[in-house]
């Protein structure tokens, strides 16, 4: 990334004439998969590359840095220099400080490929000016890179308009982050901070604009029908009776305008599904809770072990009270995420 940051707006340096002798480059680059989700994920990998030049056709990756996040918290770091097949041009070394001496004992790209792919798994990849980095990865690893891609350059332009420029070094100064520029792992720290800033802005926008159930709007297209109102009011009553702050919960319709999910902020507690045959509540239960529900109530439970979801059939809204203990446990678990 150091190379692209310094040269993005200037004429590219003359490439080393080695492309005709390099058999390792892929001739087919897999499709670039940008992320189009509703909310930015909390599990992801921020990564950054330092390269010997601007084009993956003629230059190589010489450093990889990555940080893996789970539930928005840093989980593990990955960093390695890589020994290229050809000498690093002096013009590139002048930018990121990586010289041929730096990488003389570093592993080859093939030696670290498995470790890096194992580190990123199938998580979304976050990078600044991501297309540059992803094209280098795809050229090196080919069909192995199938992860969704989140570009903080595009995100920041959309969510933080009006800045003079959107270079990563500018964000480092904006956020007052004391790290080096044009260093793969340090640039990951800045990118992660920028991503989390965009995450917060997007989340606040979504909270303002998301479809909510409003029982006071008689003519609103999202107003609940009578069965929906009954179920939602029982849910509110359960939380109030158990000293939970029911004013924190929100309900949002799915596209069918019939099923709805009950959330705290952007975190779903559970959803209510209305079908012709029955009404269901779909929620996450532990195996112990499922056994307790089936033994102590007459409710029917259908579990999906792949997603840890449990679908419980309800013949009336009052049957929700039979699982109030589980509902309150879920409320507490989600609410504690915001502490």
Question: DSSP class of residue 37?
Answer: -
Catalytic residue among 182, 193, 284, 308: 182
Asked if residues 67 and 44 have their Cβ atoms less than 8 Å apart, the reply is no
3-state secondary structure of 42: coil
Sequence-separated (6 or more) residues with CB below 8 Å from residue 20: none
Question: DSSP class of residue 16?
Answer: P
Residue 175 to residue 260: CA distance in whole angstroms = 39
Give the end-to-end CA distance of the chain in Å, rounded to a whole number.
35
Question: DSSP class of residue 323?
Answer: G
Asked if residues 183 and 2 have their Cβ atoms less than 8 Å apart, the reply is yes
Query: How many angstroms separate the Cα of 336 from the Cα of each of 191, 200, 264, 332?
Result: 27, 18, 11, 6
Q: Is 128 a catalytic residue?
A: no
Cα 115 to the center of its chain, rounded Å: 21
Q: Which residues pair with 79 in a beta bridge?
A: 65
Tokens 């879920």 label which residue?
Answer: 330
Query: How many angstroms separate the Cα of 8 from the Cα of each of 12, 132, 163, 172, 315?
Result: 8, 10, 17, 18, 63
Strands 44-51 and 125-127, sheet pairing? parallel
What element of type H or E holds 10? none
Tokens of 175: 């956020």
Residue 21 to residue 82: CA distance in whole angstroms = 20
Count Cβ atoms below 10 Å from residue 258 Cβ, excluding itself: 15
Residues noted as catalytic: 182
């Amino acid at each position: 990334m150091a190379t692209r940051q310094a040269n993005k707006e200037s004429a590219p340096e003359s490439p080393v004439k080695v492309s005709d002798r390099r058999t390792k480059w892929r001739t087919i680059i897999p499709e670039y998969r940008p992320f189009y989700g509703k909310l930015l994920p909390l599990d992801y990998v921020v990564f950054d590359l330092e390269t010997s030049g601007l084009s993956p056709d003629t230059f190589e990756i010489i450093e990889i840095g990555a940080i893996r996040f789970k539930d928005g918290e840093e989980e593990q770091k990955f960093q390695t220099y890589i020994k290229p097949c050809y000498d690093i041009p002096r013009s590139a070394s002048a930018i990121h400080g990586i010289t041929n001496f730096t990488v003389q004992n570093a592993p080859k790209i093939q030696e670290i490929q498995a470790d890096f792919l194992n580190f990123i798994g199938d998580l979304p990849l976050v990078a600044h000016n991501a297309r540059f980095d992803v094209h280098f990865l795809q050229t090196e690893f080919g069909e192995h890179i199938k992860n969704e891609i989140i570009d903080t350059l595009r995100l920041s332009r959309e969510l933080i308009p009006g800045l003079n420029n959107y270079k990563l070094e500018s964000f480092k100064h904006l956020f007052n982050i004391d790290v080096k520029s044009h260093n793969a792992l340090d640039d990951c720290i800045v990118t992660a901070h920028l991503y989390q800033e965009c995450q917060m802005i997007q989340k606040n926008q979504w909270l303002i604009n998301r479809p909510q159930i409003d029982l006071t709007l008689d003519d609103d297209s999202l107003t609940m029908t009578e069965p929906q109102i009954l179920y939602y009011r029982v849910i509110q009553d359960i939380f109030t009776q158990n000293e939970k702050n029911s004013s924190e919960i929100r309900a949002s319709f799915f596209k069918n305008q019939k099923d709805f999910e009950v959330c705290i902020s952007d975190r779903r507690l559970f959803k209510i599904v209305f079908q012709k045959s029955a009404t269901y509540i779909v929620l996450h239960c532990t195996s112990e809770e499922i056994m307790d529900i089936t033994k102590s109530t007459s409710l029917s439970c259908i579990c999906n072990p792949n997603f840890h979801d449990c679908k419980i059939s309800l013949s009336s809204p009052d049957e929700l009270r039979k699982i109030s203990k589980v509902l309150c446990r879920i409320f507490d678990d989600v609410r504690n995420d915001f502490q």
